[in-house]
Structure 1
Amino acid sequence: MDQQKIDIRNIPVHVEVHQPVGVSGQYNPRDRIYVRAVKGLHQAIRRYMGFVFMGLFMLLPWLRYEGHQAILLDITEQKFNIFALTLWPQDFTILAWLFIIAAYALFFITAFYGRVWCGYLCPQSVWTFIFIWFEEKIQGTRHQRMKLDADPWSGSKFIKKAATHFCWLAFSLLTALIFVGYFTPVGPLFAEFFTLQASFWAVVSVLFFTLCTYGNAGWMREIMCTHICPYARFQSAMFDKDTFTVTYDEKRGENRGPRGRKDKDYKDKGLGDCIDCNLCVQVCPTGIDIRNGLQYECINCGACIDACDDTMTKMGYPTGLIRYTTEHSLNGKPTKVLRPKLLGYLLVLIVVCGAFVWTLYSRVPFEMNIIRDRGALYRETNEGLVENTYTLSISNKSQHAVQYDLSVASDASFNWIGPHQASLNGGETRSVTVSLALDPYATEQRSLDISFTVQQAGNPDVKLEQTTKFFVGR
């Protein structure tokens, strides 16, 4: 059989890699964003909401309730005090319901109005805007800050930069102290920290959160939103064509281009309402151009809306070139607010809220565990009775001293040996040992089902029952 030789030729393959080019001509993973100040309806709403929730964050740890800190999430003692409610590790389901409610509330809001949480209430955005406010007050406007960074180092530049970073660090330290104050008594924390008497872990925690706040809001800023926060990545799964997002009306705005205020014939020249002032880019905290369409970096803060509306008003054009709208609305179709996805999120949110309320309502403020005598299942007394010994472990999960009544229920008649009442302070756990004695000829069974009951004295509706076995031993 003839064999044919196949010629093999090496074909050189050249792969050329193109790297992005920054302003300096070299690869720059991040050019600094100089955010321009803007005023308007949406920024006023954002500021007022930020003031309210920032005030709550700062003031809540200082509130007192019946002689103790109203909100204290004490991890070392494994209990969370929230006004009159005390949560223990056994109440993890309540915290789980809270997290589930927060998640579905976020899904519902996102499906309806986009990433408004990110733009208005996210701590990263709120603290970033506060740090930018410090920059504006110390270093000046956007153009002044850009010029200051471009200028060579001088005494004036050093003072402005040092003052800015001092304010950032001071506010970060205050934030860290308040935050740690949710987990340890806030009053002693402040006093001990500044007198150098705080514990090692308290100091480490405060310094850690200080550096985190300083780094996130002062240096990383939009990197947290665009590269680190997972919410920016999966938000698109909750968007649809009826979701209200910050959107540029391309049909109305294009073709963009400059013109004078008195130029009323700009449409005859093929121009749209966008005068290409670039203010929408300058005020954006993530540095995007909303005119390029929906982008995952957009946090729906509405800054570009306020900047554009101000420009449209000065030009004498109708406002709303950039606005909260839907894709269907831009295409001339009606927006469906009540749609299956949104109703589904709402239904689940209502269900989990109901489950949370029911869990709180049905929660018994104490706990009981029955531990049998490990030495023997039963023993015979001198009187010929069969005796079983039990240890009732009772935990008072409330914040007040409570007295409990102890009893047992069964078809047989037992002799109760031990205390019938137990008094526990708030948060205390106590073991009460009781014995039950029974005439072995009173029943033909080798074991009996019995039910111990622990009831709050004076309140028959608050009680716990637990079933166990009584061994006769015949």
Structure 2
Amino acid sequence: MNKPLGKAHEARLTRHRAQGKIHAKAVQGRFNTARWVMVWLTQIIFYGLCWLNWDSADGRRQAVLFDIPGQKLYVFDLILWPQDALILAFVLIIAATALFLVTALAGRLFCGFACPQTVYTSIFTWIEARIEGDHLARRKLDASPSHPRKLLRKAVKHTLWSIVAGWTAITFVGYFTPIRELLPALAQLNISPWETFWLIFYAVFTYVQAGLAREAVCQHMCPYSRFQGVMFDPATRNVAYDRRRGEPRGQKQQDGKCIDCAICVQVCPTGIDIRDGLQYQCINCGLCIDACDQVMDRIGAARGLIRFASEHELSAAAYSPPWYSRPRVLIYSILGVIFCTLAAWTLHERPELRLDILRDRGALLRETPDGLIENAYTLKLINFAERPREFSISVTGVPGAEIVGTHRFSADPGSLRTLSLTVAAPADTTLSGIQPLYFKVQAEDDPSVHIREKSSFALPGLR
């Protein structure tokens, strides 16, 4: 049973929670350091990767690019087409499974250290602290009446926020339009309507989410916070308060180790009291652990009053199952291995060629004065190889069927080649009606690179 709070302290907590905007106290420690390492790592990758060029067979291009007009996704040497949607589906499933696995092991670790909302809120809060001061100075400034000094500080802060949001939007669009083409076009105001829309949308989105909404996103908007509990089990390690060691709270020596300083509440970016137990608003950032450890050091007590711990640990259970024997962890791990294997196999077995055959819809067949029956086709060939190639086409399945005109063509690396072909066969064949016809496309320089697809050939005598 918790010791009742003093009226003064209870009033401070109520006022802290009731504020429309939470100004968390800054704290130093190993988890805060890890959080900033992740901020730097994720942002170096995000802001820097779009500037990385890559040498390929068709020239120098951006290493990672979503080429929507060309219907290609470039990832270094890998080029994915719409036909490779299965690989992208596997990647999304693997990412989701990895998130579920991490959650089962260590709670909302992703939310606290790698979620874009957390990362950009940290950046925007850092800017705010440099301009307006620490958490107490920011609260005082917010509560003060409008005056030139306040307006100037607010203007500088929002200007810097807008710059960060704008550059984030430019970087985001730079993954869809080559960044080295986007910037000159933007400077000349020569960008497309869609580029304009996404630049404005993503800049406003970043500004509102990280600058204005902040913890409200984690508390009310994020669906993950609502269903995360279904991935927990009693062995999941979350940020937790050791009630057996900390209670009853108080500053007297005979009381528990929690001196009721409320520093854990003051540093929490979502404004919760971890001593109230596991709450969906907790993002497992560990800042309350850093703050509590500092207090324990000052009073000469052992660290770990607040720590990453499971229900088994907090209840002093005699046995805590190892991670590899827990059903949830096993299921997520097995699913992850299965989908990683499927993705690798699909990528390895992806053909160097893809052929789609469309019949002419205007005329089923044509009879020529020479006594031949002609069928028209449109062939769409994708050369997945990173080099140009010469190809030859042949047909089988209908006796005497031949391609009218040239049966050789070239295809650029990583390109779609569309061909219009006519296939002719003798009218005096013993066959009639719709007959199977097979197209074979083969690389001239490597006969092992070929593809065979089935279509149909219409002959007189249809029923």
TM class by shorter chain equals 0.7 to 0.9
Q: Distance in 1 between matches of 2:18 and 2:134?
A: 25
Task: Indicate how the Cα distance of structure 1 residues 444 and 195 shifts in structure 2: closer, same or farther if over 3 A, else same.
Answer: closer
Pick the aligned partner of 1:125 from 106, 112, 118: 118
1:15-41, CA deviations, whole angstroms, 9 ceiling, x for partnerless residues? xxxxxxx99x99x98622111111111
Task: Indicate how the Cα distance of structure 1 residues 91 and 315 shifts in structure 2: closer, same or farther if over 3 A, else same.
Answer: same
Task: Indicate how the Cα distance of structure 1 residues 382 and 188 shifts in structure 2: closer, same or farther if over 3 A, else same.
Answer: closer
Give 1:436 shift: 3.7
Pick the aligned partner of 2:407 from 416, 420, 423: 420
Q: Distance in 2 between matches of 1:160 and 1:393?
A: 60
- What are the residue-to-residue correspondences of 1:252-263 with 2, within 5 Å? 252-259=245-252
Residues 380 and 416, structure 2, Cα contact 8 Å, conserved in 1: no
Q: Which runs of 5+ in 1 are unaligned?
A: 1-21, 260-265
Q: Distance in 2 between matches of 1:458 and 1:335?
A: 62
User: Which residue type is aligned with residue 434 of structure 1?
Assistant: T
Partner of 2:277: 293
Q: Distance in 1 between matches of 2:27 and 2:18?
A: 27
Residues 403 and 424, structure 1, Cα contact 8 Å, conserved in 2: yes
Range moving further from structure 2, 397-406 or 98-107:
397-406
Give 1:189 shift: 1.7
Give 1:398 shift: 5.4
Q: CA RMSD in A?
A: 2.5
Pick the aligned partner of 2:22 from 33, 52, 55: 33
Residues 410 and 449, structure 1, Cα contact 8 Å, conserved in 2: yes
Q: Distance in 2 between matches of 1:292 and 1:447?
A: 75
1:235-267, CA deviations, whole angstroms, 9 ceiling, x for partnerless residues? 0111111111000000000111125xxxxxx1x
Residues 33 and 286, structure 1, Cα contact 8 Å, conserved in 2: yes
Task: Find the residue that maps to 1:62 and give its secondary structure.
Answer: coil
Task: Indicate how the Cα distance of structure 1 residues 170 and 410 shifts in structure 2: closer, same or farther if over 3 A, else same.
Answer: same
Pick the aligned partner of 1:185 from 178, 199, 207: 178
Task: Indicate how the Cα distance of structure 1 residues 398 and 312 shifts in structure 2: closer, same or farther if over 3 A, else same.
Answer: same
User: Which residue type is aligned with residue 160 of structure 2?
Assistant: C
Pick the aligned partner of 1:244 from 231, 237, 241: 237
1:399-437, CA deviations, whole angstroms, 9 ceiling, x for partnerless residues? 653322212234845444332222123433311313242
Q: Distance in 1 between matches of 2:375 and 2:200?
A: 56
Q: Distance in 1 between matches of 2:457 and 2:21?
A: 75
Partner of 1:282: 266
Task: Find the residue that maps to 2:79 and give its secondary structure.
Answer: strand
Residues 388 and 435, structure 1, Cα contact 8 Å, conserved in 2: yes
Q: Distance in 2 between matches of 1:387 and 1:191?
A: 52
- What are the residue-to-residue correspondences of 1:103-252 with 2, within 5 Å? 103-252=96-245
Are residue 93 (structure 1) and residue 82 (structure 2) matched?
Answer: no
Give 1:211 shift: 1.2
Q: TM-score, normalised by structure 2?
A: 0.88
Pick the aligned partner of 1:395 from 376, 382, 405: 382
Give 1:447 shift: 5.5
User: Which residue type is aligned with residue 145 of structure 2?
Assistant: P
1:40-73, CA deviations, whole angstroms, 9 ceiling, x for partnerless residues? 1111111112211110000111111121112121
Give 1:468 shift: 2.3
Q: Distance in 2 between matches of 1:412 and 1:195?
A: 62
Task: Find the residue that maps to 2:50 and give its secondary structure.
Answer: helix
Partner of 1:343: 330
Give 1:375 shift: 5.3
Partner of 2:63: 70
User: Which residue type is aligned with residue 71 of structure 1?
Assistant: V
Give 1:388 shift: 4.1
Task: Find the residue that maps to 2:415 and give its secondary structure.
Answer: coil
Q: TM-score, normalised by structure 1?
A: 0.86
- What are the residue-to-residue correspondences of 1:382-461 with 2, within 5 Å? 384-397=371-384, 400-410=387-397, 412=399, 414-425=401-412, 426-438=414-426, 440-441=428-429, 443=430, 448-461=435-448
Task: Indicate how the Cα distance of structure 1 residues 461 and 255 shifts in structure 2: closer, same or farther if over 3 A, else same.
Answer: farther
Range moving further from structure 2, 77-86 or 51-60:
77-86
Residues 365 and 375, structure 2, Cα contact 8 Å, conserved in 1: yes
Identity of aligned residues (%): 42
Task: Indicate how the Cα distance of structure 1 residues 291 and 89 shifts in structure 2: closer, same or farther if over 3 A, else same.
Answer: same
Give 1:346 shift: 1.0
Q: Distance in 2 between matches of 1:412 and 1:162?
A: 81
